[in-house]
Amino acid sequence: MMVFNIVEIFQSLQGEGANTGMPAIFIRFAGCNLTCRWCDTDFNHYHKMTFAELLTEVSRYEARNIIITGGEPTLQRKLPALLTELKQRGYFIAIETNGLRPVDTQIDYIAVSPKFAFQPRYQDFCIPAADEMRIVVEDHPAFELFCLEMEQKITAKHYFLSPCEENGQFNVLHTITLLGKLNQRPNKPKWLLSLQTHKLAHIE
């Protein structure tokens, strides 16, 4: 029997990046291959759902967009079968990934979020392209270089910096200072600000 480790399934609005405001059903899978210091997702508390239970739960919601997230959702070995079924049901499917594992070709929209603290891992492998890149800003002298490296490694339609939240504080000044530096370069991709607007709007 096909079983998935699910943290939660809910409908909300996408709070970040180029699709901000898009109504979507979020499927949050358990487990991650990284351990970010500031991670705000409890991806180790989950329950098991069968394929049929998961589809029944998804069909309760009205949205026609699905955001596959985690944790790191590409760790789910049975994900391709689920994607095939969801595509047959006509859903637009986006994924949020840290970019360290291949992404199934059935996915319609890839949002990749490379993690500075695990920079060496991106030298070994990372996905070559995404629809948007969204990097959470860390206060480190080498962070700008990391952005430039990721811009080279992963071709994206949109590039975003997102302030990091630690202890209720966002490093906004550091983030916009860095945006200014990145955007001073002529004929290079434009980096934009992405805020976690779902937190500001007090939605999931």
- Residue from 2, 3, 34, 145 binding ligand SF4 (CB under 6 A): 34
Residue 98 sits in the site that holds ligand SF4 (CB under 6 A): yes
Residue 4's DSSP bridge partners are: 49
Question: Does the annotation mark 26 as catalytic?
Answer: yes
Out of 28, 115, 134, 158, the only residue in the binding site for ligand SF4 (CB under 6 A) is 115
Q: CA-CA-CA-CA torsion for 103, 6, 4, 97, nearest 10 degrees?
A: 10
Out of 36, 55, 63, 195, name the contact with ligand SF4 by CB under 6 A.
36
Q: Which residue in 35, 40, 45, 105 is the catalytic one?
A: 40
CB 9 within 8 A of CB 54: yes
The answer to whether the Cα torsion of 59, 68, 64, 46 is positive or negative is positive
Query: Binding residues for ligand SF4, how many (CB under 6 A)?
Result: 12
Q: Which of residues 172-201 bind ligand SF4 (CB under 6 A)?
A: none
Q: Name every residue whose Cβ is closer than 8 Å to that of residue 64 and which is 6 or more positions away in sequence.
A: 90, 91, 92
Which of the residues are catalytic? 26, 32, 36, 39-41, 96, 198
